[in-house]
Amino acid sequence: MTALKQLQITDGGNTIDDTLFGLIADDIIKQGYSVRPGALAEEISHSLFAYQQSLTTHKYVDAGIGRGDDYLQNEFVRTDEICWITGESDAGKLWLEWAAALQTFLNQRLFLGLFSFESHFAHYASGDYYKRHYDAFKGEANRVLSIVTYLNSGWTNSDGGELVLYQNEYDKEGLKIVPLYGTIVIFLSEEFPHEVLPANRDRYSVAGWFRVNCSVAGKIDPPR
């Protein structure tokens, strides 16, 4: 296999693309984040989309802030609903396999020591938002890398619902990212405050976090 032919076909569906992983790694090294429109393999986005559309409302829970003991429902901060991905569905499996391959790649390339991955579907109904926040706090070092991918075809500027990624705690302007089908956004969880602006139509996404292992005696981490 030549150096140019880096597409792996081990999963039979060309869904795992080392070339894309390399571009993401380069972006992270250069700027701490990566925005890749249309990057998620169609087989994965299609499968996630079909599965998410089949989820009935009772499969979702109101989104909270934090997990386990830290879980706190806070409407002031976010109003979307979520459904954790366990890998029971084919769509979930495909996504988790892809994320695991990305995790392995980034660990080899960037020595991030990523240990586990947690992920959920999110549905923002019209008017829903997620106020400016960090996905992880410095010193607590658990969530290292955040990833979001979007499942919305034909999203236009008037649909709102952009992800705004701020460069640091002082940045007021930020970078606006349209939640368009297949776009992948990845960023260092501790470095980039971000928010989801109110959407004017249903907004579907999958968000995930790569974590390092913070287990200490008697306390299992991640909290599952």
Ligand X SMILES: O=C(O)CCC(=O)C(=O)O
For ligand X, give the closer residue by CB, 16 or 206: 206
Distance of CA 203 to the CA centre of its chain: 14
Count CB atoms within 10 A of the CB of residue 200: 13
Query: CA of 31: how far to CAs of 112, 143, 171, 192, 201, in Å?
Result: 15, 18, 15, 11, 31
Q: Is 135 in the site for Fe ion (CB under 5 A)?
A: yes
Backbone φ and ψ of 83, nearest 5°: -140, 115
Interface residue with ligand X among 148, 151, 184, 199 (CB under 6 A) is 148
For ligand X, give the closer residue by CB, 6 or 137: 137
What is the tally of helices (H) and strands (E) in the chain?
3, 11
For ligand X, give the closer residue by CB, 44 or 148: 148
Q: Is 196 in the site for ligand X (CB under 6 A)?
A: yes
Q: Is 207 in the site for ligand X (CB under 6 A)?
A: yes
Q: Is 81 in the site for ligand X (CB under 6 A)?
A: no
Q: Which does 208 bind (CB under 5 to 8 A by kind): ligand X, Fe ion, none?
A: none
Count CB atoms within 10 A of the CB of residue 104: 13
Count CB atoms within 10 A of the CB of residue 217: 4
- How many CA atoms lie less than 13 Å away from 3 in the CB half-sphere? 1
Q: Is 194 in the site for ligand X (CB under 6 A)?
A: yes
Q: Least separation, in Å, of the C-beta of 109 and ligand X? A: 24
Q: Least separation, in Å, of the C-beta of 189 and ligand X? A: 9
> Among candidates 204, 34, 195, which has minimal Cα distance to 102?
34
Binding mask 107-146 for ligand X (x = CB under 6 A): ---------------x-------x----x-----------
Q: Is 163 in the site for ligand X (CB under 6 A)?
A: yes
Site size toward Fe ion (CB under 5 A) is 1
Binding site for Fe ion (CB under 5 A): 135
